[in-house]
Chain A
Amino acid sequence: MRAMERAEVDQRIRALIEPFNKKGVEIFEATTFAGDLEFDSLTVMDFVAAIEDEFDIIISMNQQAEIETWGQLIDAVCKLADD
């Protein structure tokens, strides 16, 4: 896979998160999924599945445990999509 621009990954995931961001919370680098977005475990699973399908990657629960903020998610997907 070609090296993906961080901005492009950010933009594609922003489109994916829309249906899950029911309260329309504004998203910054430091926005947290559990706190700011109030994602429960089922929402996390569906959101992660959407990202996995979009980029054809796997984000294991072990890797998810390291991801708390939007910025960390974008960094992780950039890295996984490049591998």
Chain B
Amino acid sequence: MSEGISQPDAPVALEATESGDLFSKFDPLIKQRSDLLASGVEDPFNLVMEKVLSPTRAVCNGRDTILLGTYNYMGMTFDPDVIQAGKDALDNYGSGTTGSRVLNGTYQGHKECEEALKEFYAMDHAMVFSTGYQANLGIISTIAGKGDYIVLDIDSHASIWDGCSLGNAEIVPFRHNDIEALEKRLKRIPEGAGKLVVLEGVYSMLGDIAPLKEMIAVSKAHGAMVLVDEAHSMGFIGPNGRGVAEDQGCLDDVDFVIGTFSKSVGTVGGFCVSNHPKFEIMRLVCRPYVFTASLPPSVVATAATSIRKLMHGGNKRAHLWENSKTLHGGLTKLGFTLGTTEPQSAIVAVIMPDLQRGAAMWEALLKEGLYVNLARPPATPANMTLLRCSLCAEHSAEEVETILGMFERAGKAVGII
């Protein structure tokens, strides 16, 4: 699922209205938004970062702010080697490729970026997309065709749902992280039909991880191929930062790993890595790969440099775990209700009693000088309002204590604790 957005991840068809204005269908959302802003709250979805000082600090709406909602898990955005690689690529290759990967848009940098990914995951094939969204959109819609079945977790990210919508396969969702529900559905799929199971390592709404080992075993037992989106775990979870599947010892059974450069890697772009012997044909048949311009040379250069540095990020990973544990433990002690009872990732989700108080708390934190993500219905599971915190390896231990103080003051002012 996705944060902050005013619509659910699974697409919903809005009914046409008779007014003739095609925008009439958005009237209920326009009203809900203006009602919220009329209550005087700062617009949670219109924040501007005027200056970015570091991976963890920015000037937001005129205030010096600690960033605790950016997914910049490994703090690579200001790494001097990464920035230098980007500058060099700008000088040597120009500002953009102006072309598709399959025409004039594959530069040396794109190949080097794919080499870095193959090494990072120790896999045979890597394919770089222009965004993580397009990676899911492209791979899922292309490999599962008419008559095939896609079995997916109901809390899947919008890019997974949209990949399902773009393709022609039969779509079968199951209850979040429910191994038995997954198995029942796999059992009932007609014999001979192709099956793709789509899972995520970390689910970004509550920051909980999936029981991948069990789910992949069940999927394999029923002859399904498995795709795992490791967007929120790459660089951080697992001995080599390869994600939850690596951590649970089942990466070898994953057919396709999807990931993004816009979180731990610290730039933009998406990818799929795989050991499938025929994987390279994807470059010719995957429309969201073919019919769009490739990433600018500076972006793939920063990505490749960052990925190679993440291979040796063991100390940073350890510090990020410390941060996650300190924040999770501190917030629990203060009396907040969290999305998971134990810290499972670098995301700590604080559950708010309702949207009104959630928005008030979000604003109180912003005035304290802390940015977190506000996530609200219908984008959230069970229609919860969440304040989602994503930690960074560059947050110092002192900063995490400062953050806890901000939560305490804001929580008391709003009457949540």
* Residue ranges of A at the interface with B (Cβ–Cβ < 8 Å): 41-42, 45-46, 49, 52-53, 56-58, 60-63
Contact = CB atoms under 8 A, between A and B. Distances in A.
Nearest to A64: B171
B14 interface: no
B interface residue count range (under 10 / 10 to 19 / 20 to 34 / 35 or more): 10 to 19
Interface string B179-203: 0010011001100000000000000
A52 B382 CA distance: 22
A57 B172 CA distance: 12
B188 A41 contact: no
Contact of A49 (B10, B12, B181): B181
Nearest to B187: A56
A30 B188 CA distance: 29
Contact of B188 (A45, A52, A61): A52
B154 A45 contact: yes
Contacts of B185: 52, 58
Contact of A61 (B173, B189, B382): B173
A49 B149 CA distance: 16
Given A52-B184, A52-B188, A45 B173 contact: yes
Interface string B1-19: 0000000101010000000
B112 interface: no
Contact of B175 (A49, A60, A61): A49
A53 B178 CA distance: 15
A54 B12 CA distance: 27
Nearest to B170: A60
A61 B184 CA distance: 16
A19 to B, nearest CB: 16
B181 A61 contact: no
B171 A60 contact: yes
Contacts of A49: 174-175, 181
B8 A41 contact: yes
Given A49-B175, A58-B189, A42 B170 contact: no
Contacts of B181: 49
B317 to A, nearest CB: 35
Nearest to A48: B173
Given A41-B10, A42-B382, A62 B171 contact: yes
Nearest to A58: B188
Given A49-B181, A58-B170, 14 more contacts: A41-B10, A41-B12, A42-B154, A45-B154, A49-B174, A49-B175, A58-B172, A58-B185, A60-B171, A61-B164, A61-B170, A61-B172, A62-B170, A63-B170
Contacts of A60: 149, 170-172
Contacts of A58: 149, 170, 172, 185, 188-189
Contacts of A56: 188
Contacts of B184: 52-53
B185 to A, nearest CB: 6
Interface in B256-282: none
A11 B175 CA distance: 26
A45 B170 CA distance: 15
Contacts of B149: 58, 60
B154 A61 contact: no
A51 B64 CA distance: 54
Contacts of B174: 49
Nearest to B181: A49
B172 A45 contact: no
